[in-house]
Structure 1
Amino acid sequence: MIGNYAGVACGYTTPLQGIRRYAKTVHLSGCNDVFCNGNQQFNAAEVAARHADATILVMGLDQSIEAEFRDRKGLLLPGYQQELVSRVARASRGPTILVLMSGGPIDVSFAKNDPRIGAILWVGYPGQAGGAAIADVLFGTANPGGKLPMTWYPHDYLAKVPMTNMGMRADPSRGYPGRTYRFYKGPVVFPFGHGMSYTTFAHSLVQAPREVSVPLASLHVSRNTTGASNAIRVSHANCEALALGVHIDVKNTGDMDGTHTLLVFSSPPGGKWSTQKQLIGFEKVHLVTGSQKRVKIDIHVCKHLSVVDRFGIRRIPNGEHYLYIGDLKHSISLQATLEEIKS
């Protein structure tokens, strides 16, 4: 229940102890340890699931498999854990919930696509009170509001991306798919920023610019700045004049109070720029049911709407940039101005 950087706690609340505060429980190990090298105990787990009103499976990893000094060899659940999950879910009389403990992503496509598994809760390494927190979420006392801080890739992604290649951009000629949500376009288990809640939130854009002029540092550099790339070098722009404010109303439209992390992404104009989108701002807001709050996200053109080309030069592409806020999409047209800016 703890990660690499943790002291020794005086005590731990396990998931079993946390759940027992809400309901009568029957507990079975299923596996002897996290490696789960055998399935001898699975029959007993199936029998228990057939008689339970609900089944909670706590699976995942620990520091014997992944740690600061220990790399994993794959993205699947260790040993027979996947078989245990599928067999118990098939046998369960009531809803089945999969709780995952891990520091990194796990390919749980099988569970995501299994209609008998009603929910997947990723809890990281939840710490000494983790069991209480898990139970509070499972029984609805607390409303989850987290967002994934990394992409969860399918296991076969590893065969296409050797760890000796640190390239971010995809290279179709070599079958290299690229890395991170900014460049990788293939299938994922769960995307970066994914997260669910017991309530629902609606976004409405209140104020955002439609057109932005990018003033150049001098008229001299303007003739050599945009060129064939149709982009402005950040070093040639007057960046101090390019701070924008985007105002968004966030409303809790559901039946439960909740915390929402508003994520704002941007994407450059189409064409040669290989970046799909990038996170440029976020804000966490707590909203009681039915309430609304206005959020301001500060966007700096030189930092947030620029891209790094293949030569390592940061540029601001001219043309239509897009902002993505939840299910909203907003365009901002950027064009260089030829007026000389005197410092």
Structure 2
Amino acid sequence: QQYTNWRTLPSRATYSVEAGETYDIEIHFAQRENWQANLEFNFGKELDVTYDQIIENLDGIETVIYVGGLSTLLEGEEMPVNYPGFKGGDRTNIELPAVQREFLKALKAAGKTVIYVNNSGSAIALTPETESADAILQAWYGGESGGQAVADVLFGDYNPSGKLPVTFYKHSDQLPDIEDYSMEGRTYRYLESEEALFPFGFGLSYPSFEIGEAEASKTSITPDETVWLTIPVTNTGDRTGTEIVQVYVRKVNDKDGPIKTLKGFERVELNSGKSAEAVIELPPSSFEFYDWEQRKMAITSGEYEVFYGNSSASEDLKKITVEIK
């Protein structure tokens, strides 16, 4: 087997051997381009994973914080990785690796309260984990201080307010083949939000927030005018927190256009029981969409739906209509 890579990464080569036999194994390596020439290797055997001993060691423990997910050694670009779910740094599915998925199920079956901290640089289909875990924290790759940041959130020393910058799908089969260039069913712009596991812009916080009825500076404009949205926000929880108010725009009767497109957002920090207003600007470019007649992005006359709320999910959004003359 042959691997060519620009950095030292784990690769796996499987050989069948017989007891009592002697085998000669040669490993050749060399420098290519201006990359370093290095080699790290080991030998071992694979055994089926069981969780009985781990569960036994957790006897008397009610709550388990399980930190799992992926690794920068698995997902990347042009990497000599060939594991289930990965190929050359690409993902062949977006599921959590089976060994982790089954472990979370085993913890839940043992009666544990499970807090799952997911490390990844991309979306993972966590549908089974919504059953096997009581809470999920998406930590991405936090770097040197990532562990401290996660601990601050889990123990309540910091109130989370992040929102997902990508859609988390329910399962791998939702994604079309990568060679299918149609956008249908891809990203929050072309996927109905109820079909997502966790939609774009979604994110929980310890307190809850209520989004009031927005007021628009104008609802009938010319193509060169700006609309200002004033959106009331109330912290209905029992501690200080931050909400991210989001604004999306959709061009009505745009047959091939996106369902909605993020056009603005604003962070609002509020003490418990307090209210404030998020003021979000929608410049003319916010109403620019592809026009098939002109074969370019353009602002055209018609109706535009302006959605506002705290995620891209339909149930989290309210709507006003703006007309461009």
TM-score of the aligned structures, taking structure 2 as reference length: 0.73
2:153 is matched with 137
Q: Is this contact kept in 1: 2:226–2:283, CA < 8 A?
A: yes
More helix by share: 1
Q: 2:54 aligns with which of 45, 50, 54?
A: 45
1:243 is matched with 226
Residue correspondences, number: 261
Deviations 1:3-25 (A, max 9, x none): xxxxxxxxxxxxxxxxxxxxxxx
Q: Is this contact kept in 2: 1:252–1:288, CA < 8 A?
A: yes
Q: How much does 1:310 deviate?
A: 4.8
1:81 is matched with 100
Identity of aligned residues (%): 32
Q: Distance in 1 between matches of 2:116 and 2:101?
A: 11
1:85-104 map, 5 Å: 85-93=104-112, 95-104=113-122
TM-score of the aligned structures, taking structure 1 as reference length: 0.70
Question: Structure 1 residues 299, 42: closer, same or farther in 2, change over 3 A?
Answer: same
Q: Is this contact kept in 1: 2:257–2:290, CA < 8 A?
A: no
1:308 correspondence with 2:290: yes
Structure 1 regions of 5+ residues with no counterpart? 1-36, 171-176, 215-236, 337-343
Q: Distance in 2 between matches of 1:299 and 1:50?
A: 56
Q: Distance in 2 between matches of 1:330 and 1:60?
A: 37
Q: Distance in 2 between matches of 1:51 and 1:310?
A: 65
Q: Is this contact kept in 1: 2:220–2:324, CA < 8 A?
A: yes
Q: Distance in 2 between matches of 1:279 and 1:126?
A: 26
1:158-173 map, 5 Å: 158=175, 161-168=176-183, 170=184
1:240-279 map, 5 Å: 242-270=225-253, 272-279=255-262
Deviations 1:60-79 (A, max 9, x none): 00012102442222101124
1:172-191 map, 5 Å: 177=185, 179-185=186-192, 187-191=195-199
Q: Distance in 1 between matches of 2:249 and 2:115?
A: 35
1:199 is matched with 207
Which has the higher relative contact order, 1 or 2, with Cα contacts under 8 A spaced 6 or more apart?
Answer: 1
The residue type paired with residue 64 of structure 2 is: T
Q: Distance in 2 between matches of 1:296 and 1:243?
A: 13
Q: Distance in 1 between matches of 2:77 and 2:268?
A: 32
The residue type paired with residue 51 of structure 2 is: F
Q: Is this contact kept in 1: 2:114–2:135, CA < 8 A?
A: yes
Q: Distance in 2 between matches of 1:166 and 1:309?
A: 19
| Poorly superposed stretches of 4+, deviation over 3 Å | 309-312, 315-320
